[in-house]
Amino acid sequence: MSRTLYQKIVDEHTIKRIDAQTVLLYCDVHFANEYTSPQAFAGLSSRKLPAAVPDAHLCVVDHIIPSTDESPRRITDHDSFVQAQTLEANCRKFGIRAFYGPNDPNQGVEHVVMDEQGLVRPGMVVICGDSHTTTHGALGALGFGIGTSEIEHLLATQTLVYRMAGTMRISIAGQLPAGTEPKDLALAVLRRISARGALGKVVEYCGSAVDALTIEGRMTLCNLTVEAGARGALIAPDDKALEWVKKHAAGLSDEDFSAMAAYAKELRSDPGASFDTEIELNADDTAPMVTWGTSPEQSVAIDEVIPDPNAFTDEIERSAALRGLAYQGLSAGRRMAGVPIQHVFIGSCTNGRISDLRAAAAILKGRKVHPSVCAQVMPGSMAVRRQAEMEGLDKIFKEAGFQWRKSGCSLCLAMNGDMLADGVRCASTTNRNFEGRQGRGARTHLVSPTTAAASAVAGVITDPRTMTRL
């Protein structure tokens, strides 16, 4: 019987089949943050249970940590300080050695840290109490987010009671044109399939455009897939994925790498495997994208106009479009290019990796941030920050007028004190443009790193293709 890549990974990790749609699933690795884990650890303590496999967990402080460029890093907010201290204490109590606190050199946004530490491998089941765990499908791993009660169960048993997802394959032919980025492709996919287009499904990406993406580009694509309602995203591991793991997994022996590579060759959907839904797209005409509303699906190419909400035949989409435009203070028929901005944010688990910083720096070199714009860059991890500084990227950002910050989630969700004022419009490389996401009344437009950089220079949302890389 032909099986999809998703089905193969689930079958490999199934301990027991509970019913036709539910299995007891073994989980290879779990990572936790200070925000979604305290109740889970408290549950273990109240039941006097140990962590079943302490070395299968990594804990990192990322959501509430200040991003200011100071050493040592200090969390001055009392509640945030307690959250960070509680996570550290729980790691000690339950024997979890991998704890990356505020001043650990490995600290960073969890979805960046996991991959750069080489802890995610093809065919793994990867778990976190955060929805953007889909990111790790870029390496051929099944990653998905879970709730606090499930985290407790996972800590105690290293398993989850897992209900099977539906399956969806998105084939993307062609190639991304020069001047466009994986973020643009991801936003174009969301626009095409909608915020409900992959609801309850695990999406497998394939096709020449996907094959051509770097691993970090694939991470961006998989990261944003959850915004279509997906329960997971997968890309069959290839030589790029194997080389990534080999480069980042310290201590991986030649024997173990050979075994992993042999296993990875089997990790692809069989010819004739059946998917619940199949979508075919072409990347050849992809342009820089920008969101106009309050959902990642509400986007247009940068040279297009905002659509008329009344043109939507789906009542839910029409209502969402009307509300989104009202919140953003925009109107149908307006071009997004040229919309004034007051803030630019480059970072997050979507676009805070070294390739993202390089792309933005190539636009900014020799240029200055517009006087009306406050611009910030937040490397996705301290390792990314060090690499950027080795390459001199920090100097390019600072000379352009950007604030060079330390790693953390920061303005992706405005939980650490980094928050925009009411009415401030931000070109952001994050993954969500919901109402109030970056501060009460703040207006978020999702863009790629190069579009963010070009917009910072111009003071308005700007097509990066109009600015030569210096």
Of 279, 267, 297, 266, give the one whose Cα is nearest residue 167. Answer: 279
Dmax of the chain from CA atoms?
62
pLDDT at residue 365, rounded to an integer:
97
B/e letters for 287-298, b = 16+ CB within 10 Å, e = fewer, are bbbbbbbbbbbb
Q: 118 burial class (0-12, 13-18, 19+ CB within 10 angstroms)?
A: middle
Identical fold at 1-286 and 290-466?
A: yes
pLDDT at residue 470, rounded to an integer:
57
Q: What's the mean pLDDT when you consider all of the chain?
A: 97
The pTM assigned to this predicted structure is 0.97
3-class SS string, the chain: CCCCHHHHHHHHHEEEEEECCEEEEECCEEEEECCCCHHHHHHHHHCCCCCCCHHHEEEECCCCCCCCCCCCCCCCCHHHHHHHHHHHHHHHHCCCCEEECCCCCCCECHHHHHHHCCCCCCCCEEEECCHHHHHHHHHCCEEEECCHHHHHHHHHHCEEEEECCEEEEEEEECCCCCCCCHHHHHHHHHHHHCCCCCCCEEEEEECHHHHHCCHHHHHHHHHHHHHHCCCEEEECCCHHHHHHHHHHCCCCCHHHHHHHHHHHCCCCCCCCCCCCEEEEEECCCCCCEEECCCCCCCEEECCCECCCHHHCCCHHHHHHHHHHHHHHCCCCCCECCCCECCEEEECHHHHCCHHHHHHHHHHHCCCCCCCCCEEEECCCEHHHHHHHHHCCHHHHHHHHCCEECCCCCHHHCCCCCCCCCCCCEEEECCCCCCCCCCCCCCEEEECCHHHHHHHHHHCECCCHHHCCCC
pLDDT of residue 332 exceeding 80, the answer is yes
**Which architecture does CATH list for 290-466?**
2-Layer Sandwich (3.30)
* pLDDT tens profile 369-400: 999 999 999 999 999 999 999 999 999 999 99
* pLDDT tens profile 113-165: 999 999 999 999 999 999 999 999 999 999 999 999 999 999 999 999 999 99
Averaged pLDDT for residues 33-44: 95
Residue spans per domain, the chain: 1-286, 290-466
* pLDDT tens profile 245-259: 999 998 899 999 999
Averaged pLDDT for residues 350-356: 99
1-286 homologous superfamily: Aconitase, domain 3 (3.30.499.10)
